[in-house]
A and B are shown apart, each in its own frame.
Chain A
């Protein structure tokens, strides 16, 4: 224990003097900026400008009745033309004629996706029927699912991603940097001629990288909390610590197979990219093939999402937690063997 603490102290000093702590803090500040300054929503559909030049502005009235945003309506032809000229992605609708004989023109630039045009046609159709006083008797109602869970603003949706992947990179890459430095300086040879042993060596590195991840994670979560998130701190940081431990153990074991960072670079980058693949499932939930679900960071990402964005409403956390635990145990065995049989042998 004294031995492991002594080594952890050494690794903390090295992490500080190597600038690793500074890098982690800098990334944390970057994440703060993203959290604070990313807009809550991104405009996902094309903007629309509508000119209602019909008699009595019946379409405009009907639209207001249907709850449409009045901002879309141009005041007059000049306003409409100005809006159309200002934005290449805008869809334009101009309505003329009398309520009984309306003529509707839709203008769209070549960039505008046909689906957007079709959607606009359909909603204009409905509004015009409303303007004529026709309804087809269909009742439409919107029901909110999982009413307890709030829709997360975009700036907070990113938080689980910032947490999980950063912890992965931190553990996996920086631990390799440490090992290669010790190999290159030859301090590992001196270590091997002393009764240090494998376990305290690994434990010291774990303490540093899990500690760094927790400091970083705590900072990012605090920013999220200031922005209105009500995270389950214990759950989120616990999962983060676990996935950071997994990546550190994996990274330490993995680094023993290489002589220096340049040999490690492409295989190591491959593993890091694989670890980040679940991001695509996160961004597009419909993309979740079995192989992506099998990547440990997938479970960590969605667990942390529930802990950060929907605390209390999260589905059963036991199964994914157990899977991450099992992966971490596996990584620990791999790391212990690699350190004993490779790193601390010639």
Chain B
């Protein structure tokens, strides 16, 4: 179990917190989705949880032990994939994995098999510097799996991938979860989060604004939403409203009766709309 309590992080020490008061718990074998717009602080939280960033305030515990008290053995059992592909450009895909495997003591995966799993078998002998962005992304993902980790940290593993390849990666993530791996997944993509995650946390400006299973979140906001376009002084505004909530119902009838509503669409509620509702901003 991973327990994160009241974590703050200030990069420059000037009182501008990139992350403030973040708390959550991830049970073993769950996929925990961390969602939020760019700059929300997602990577910062991952950095703190993996020990790459110093814990300034709050606590991070793995099965009850503080992250600060854990020695090198901690790194034996985690796998980390980074948002910016960080590979040895002068080494081939295969060599990158082979070398990385050599850093671990326990059993490791066969590099060739991993490359095959992420669709890079044909590129195994090419230097990583010659890989496309998506190929690098997949290689970094494969590298995170090399030591058969029991905890996976994945920072936007599917960003920049074509839909088919992204599917492949998502299937692998679910496979890992089913094998007992705990996954901390950072993403912009609400649909991915909806499909993959047992729990999602919405992060906005360094704070968690909602946290629950995707199903519960959608239930709380109603399974359907209404998108209303209004014209005020010639400008078009879009409102997303959830008829299950009283205040939204009131607003909806007001918009319609005042005659400012131009179009009204009823649709299935998505996490994205809930996020916009909560934060007033999209995930762009």
A6 interfacial by beta-carbon distance below 8 Å: yes
Structural contact, A13 and B84, CB atoms closer than 8 A: no
Contacting B90 at CB < 8 Å: which of A7, A17, A190?
A17
Contact A194 B100, beta carbon cutoff 8 Å:
yes
B263 within 8 A of A: no
The answer for the CA separation of A14 and B105 in the assembled complex, in Å, is 23
Q: Is the CB of B114 closer than 8 A to any CB of chain A?
A: no
Stretch in contact with the other chain, from B46-54, B199-207, B247-255 = B46-54
Stretch at the interface among A127-135, A181-189, A297-305: A181-189
Q: Which of B51, B53, B75, B76 neighbours the largest number of chain A CB atoms within 10 Å of its CB? A: B75
Decide if A189 touches B102 in the complex (CB within 8 Å).
Answer: no
Contact of B91 among A6, A13, A195, A197 (CB under 8 A): A13
- Residue A77 at the B interface, CB < 8 A? no
Within 8 A of B (CB), among A1-21: 2-3, 6-7, 9-10, 13-14, 17-18
Question: Closest A-chain residue to B89, C-beta based?
Answer: A185
Would A10 and B88 count as touching, CB distance under 8 A? yes
Which single member of B52, B87, B103 contacts A196 (CB below 8 Å)? B103
Q: Tell me which residues across on chain A come within 8 A of B50, comparing CB atoms.
A: 193
Answer whether A195 and B88 are a contact pair too, CB < 8 Å, given A186-B82, A189-B52, A345-B54: no
Q: Measured between C-beta atoms, what is the minimum distance from A174 to chain B in Å?
A: 14
B72/A189 in contact, CB under 8 A: no
User: Does B217 make an interface contact (CB < 8 A)?
Assistant: no
Q: Contacts A13-B95, A345-B54, A346-B53; is A194 near B103 (CB within 8 Å)?
A: yes
Q: Which residue on chain A has the smallest CB distance to residue B105?
A: A195
- Are B103 and A346 in touch, CB under 8 angstroms? no
B132 touches A (CB below 8 Å): no
A17 and B130 alpha carbons, distance in the complex (Å):
14
Which residues, 68 to 82 on B, are CB-close (under 8 Å) to A? 72-73, 75-76, 78, 80, 82
CA A192 to CA B90, docked complex, whole Å? 20
Is there a chain A Cβ closer than 8 Å to B176's Cβ?
no
The answer to whether A190 touches B89 (Cβ under 8 A) is no
Q: Kindly list chain A residues whose C-beta atoms are within 8 Å of the C-beta of B89.
A: 185
Cα A78 to Cα B124 in complex, Å, equals 79
CB atoms of A197 and B72 under 8 A apart: yes
Given the known inter-chain contacts A185-B86, A189-B82, A190-B100, please indicate yes or no for A195 contacting B51, CB distance below 8 A. Answer: no
Decide: A2 and B102 in contact? CB cutoff 8 A. yes
The complex places the Cα of A189 from the Cα of B80 at a distance, in Å, of: 10
User: With A195-B103, A195-B104 known to touch, is A187 a contact of B87 (CB < 8 Å)?
Assistant: yes
> Is there an interface contact between B99 and A9, defined as CB atoms closer than 8 Å?
yes
B177 within 8 A of A: no
Cα distance, A173 to B86, chains bound together (Å): 23
Q: Which residues of B contact A9 (CB under 8 A)?
A: 99, 102
What is the bound-complex CA distance between A195 and B76, given in angstroms? 6
B42 within 8 A of A: no
Chain A residue numbers with a CB within 8 Å of B85 are 186
Q: Which of A17, A185, A186, A193 contacts B78 (CB 8 A)?
A: A193
Contacts of A191 in B (CB 8 A): 103
Q: Assess whether A193 is in contact with B52, with CB atoms less than 8 Å apart.
A: yes
- Chain A residues numbered 301-324 whose CB sits less than 8 Å from any CB in chain B: none
Determine the chain A residues whose CB is within 8 A of the CB of B103 once the complex forms.
3, 6-7, 191, 194-196
B143 within 8 A of A: yes
Give chain A interface residues in 26-69, CB to chain B under 8 Å: none
In the complex, A6 Cα to B90 Cα: how many Å?
Answer: 16
Which single member of B53, B75, B82 contacts A194 (CB below 8 Å)?
Answer: B75
Looking at the assembled complex, report how far the CB atom of A342 sits from the nearest CB atom of chain B, in whole angstroms: 13
* Contact A192 B52, beta carbon cutoff 8 Å: yes
Is B88 within 8 A of A187, CB to CB?
yes
Q: Which residues from B are CB-within-8-Å of A346?
A: 52-54
Known: A6-B103, A345-B54, A346-B52. A195 touches B75 (CB 8 A): yes
Q: Tell me, in angstroms, the Cα distance from A194 to B145 when the chains sit together.
A: 12
| CB <8 Å contact, B99 and A185 | no
- Most-contacted residue by chain B among A9, A14, A187, A194 (CB, 10 A): A194
Given contacts A6-B103, A10-B95, A193-B75, 4 further A-B contacts (CB under 8 A): A7-B99, A187-B87, A190-B82, A195-B75
B interface residues (Cβ-Cβ under 8 A, vs A): 50-54, 72-73, 75-76, 78, 80, 82, 84-91, 95, 99-100, 102-105, 140, 143, 147
- The 8 lowest CB-CB distance pairs between A and B, nearest first, are A186-B86, A6-B102, A195-B75, A193-B80, A17-B90, A195-B72, A196-B103, A194-B103
A-B contact pairs, 7 of them (CB 8 A): A9-B102, A185-B86, A186-B85, A190-B86, A192-B51, A194-B104, A195-B103
